[in-house]
C-alpha cells in the first residue's frame, strides 16, 4: 500500500451535465470517480463511459448482492460496460475493443456469502480476460458507515473481511474506525476503501462513523471516498485540494 491513500470523489448527482461540470473543475487533481446507485440509476452505463472517456478511473459502487449466478452475470456486464457493441452477436470477438480500460474497482456485499463473492471474482477475471482489459479490483462492503457505532461492529467487520479474503476479494469497504484493525490483520496489500470521510470540522450529514482524511491515512486506509464535502461545495476544486492537503 502507498504511504498516502488515494482520493475518490463520489459523483452523487443525477445528470451527465452535472458530471461534466464537476469533472471539468476537478480533473486537475482527481483521478478516480465513484459511480454509485444514484448516478447509475439516473444515467446508466453512459455515466461510466463518460468518466472513462476523459481518461479517469471508475469505482463502480453498486453493491451487488444476490444469488451467485446473478451477481456473476452482473459483474461480467460491469466489466464490459465500456465495450462499444457494434453487432448483435454475443461473441466479444465480434465487438470493437474498448479504447479505455475496464472499471477500476467495484463492490459486492460481503453478507451475500462466500460462494457469491467467489463467483464475483471469477466472473471479473474471466470477463476481463475475454475483452483484453485489466481485471477490476473487487471489494466487499462490510458495514455501512451510516450504521450507528455499536460494540460489536468491529467484530462483525472483521468476520466479514475474513470471509471476503478467503473468497478471493481484493479488500473491503469499511469505516476508518476499523481500518487499523484490518490493516494489522491482513497486511499491506489488502485494499481498504473508506467512506464517511469529512474534512476537519465538516458536517457529518447522515454518516455516523466518520473520520478526517488524516485519521484515515493514519489508520491505513487505501482509498478515501468523499462525496458531499466536495460535490456540494461552492468551490469543489478548493474543497478537493483541501482534502488532498490533509491526506498529504
At 146 the three-state DSSP class reads coil
Give residues with Cβ within 8 angstroms of 215, minimum separation 6.
Answer: 176
Query: Which cell numbers in the block locate residue 190?
Result: 489488502
179: how many CB neighbours lie within 10 A of its CB?
25
Q: Which of 57, 63, 97, 149 is catalytic?
A: 63
96 is catalytic: no
CA distance 73 to 173: 22
Question: What is the C-alpha separation between 176 and 200, in angstroms, rounded?
Answer: 14
Contact 224, 192 (CB under 8 A): no
Assess contact for 10 and 227: CB atoms under 8 A. yes
**Listed residue (91, 108, 20) closest to 56, CA to CA:** 20
Question: At a CB cut-off of 8 Å and minimum separation 6, what does 42 contact?
Answer: 14, 15
Computed on alpha carbons and rounded to an integer, the radius of gyration of the chain in Å comes to 18
* Residues labelled catalytic: 63
Amino acid at each position: 500500500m502507498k504511504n498516502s491513500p488515494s482520493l475518490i470523489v463520489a459523483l452523487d448527482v443525477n445528470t451527465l451535465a452535472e458530471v461534466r461540470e464537476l469533472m471539468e473543475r476537478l480533473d486537475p487533481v482527481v483521478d478516480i470517480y465513484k459511480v454509485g446507485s444514484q448516478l447509475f440509476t439516473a444515467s446508466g452505463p453512459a455515466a461510466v463511459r463518460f468518466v472513462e472517456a476523459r481518461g479517469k478511473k471508475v469505482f463502480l459502487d453498486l453493491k451487488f448482492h444476490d444469488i451467485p449466478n446473478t451477481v456473476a452475470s452482473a459483474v461480467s456486464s460491469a466489466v464490459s460496460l465500456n465495450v462499444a457493441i457494434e453487432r448483435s452477436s454475443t461473441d466479444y470477438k465480434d465487438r470493437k475493443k474498448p479504447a479505455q480500460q475496464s472499471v477500476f474497482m467495484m463492490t459486492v456485499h460481503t453478507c451475500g456469502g462466500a460462494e457469491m463473492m467467489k463467483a464475483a471474482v471469477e466472473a471479473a477475471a474471466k470477463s476481463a480476460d475475454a475483452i483484453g482489459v485489466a481485471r477490476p479490483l473487487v471489494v466487499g462492503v462490510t458495514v455501512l458507515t451510516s450504521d450507528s457505532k455499536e460494540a460489536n461492529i468491529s467484530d462483525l467487520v472483521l468476520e466479514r473481511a475474513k470471509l471476503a479474503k478467503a473468497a478471493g476479494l481484493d479488500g473491503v469497504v469499511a469505516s476508518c474506525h476499523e481500518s487499523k484493525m484490518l490493516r494489522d490483520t491482513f497486511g499491506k496489500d489488502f485494499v481498504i476503501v473508506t467512506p464517511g470521510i469529512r474534512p476537519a470540522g465538516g458536517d457529518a450529514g447522515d454518516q455516523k462513523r466518520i473520520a478526517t482524511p488524516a485519521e484515515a491515512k493514519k489508520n491505513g486506509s487505501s482509498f478515501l471516498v468523499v462525496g458531499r464535502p466536495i460535490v456540494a461545495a461552492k468551490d469543489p476544486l478548493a474543497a478537493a485540494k483541501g482534502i488532498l492537503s490533509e491526506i498529504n
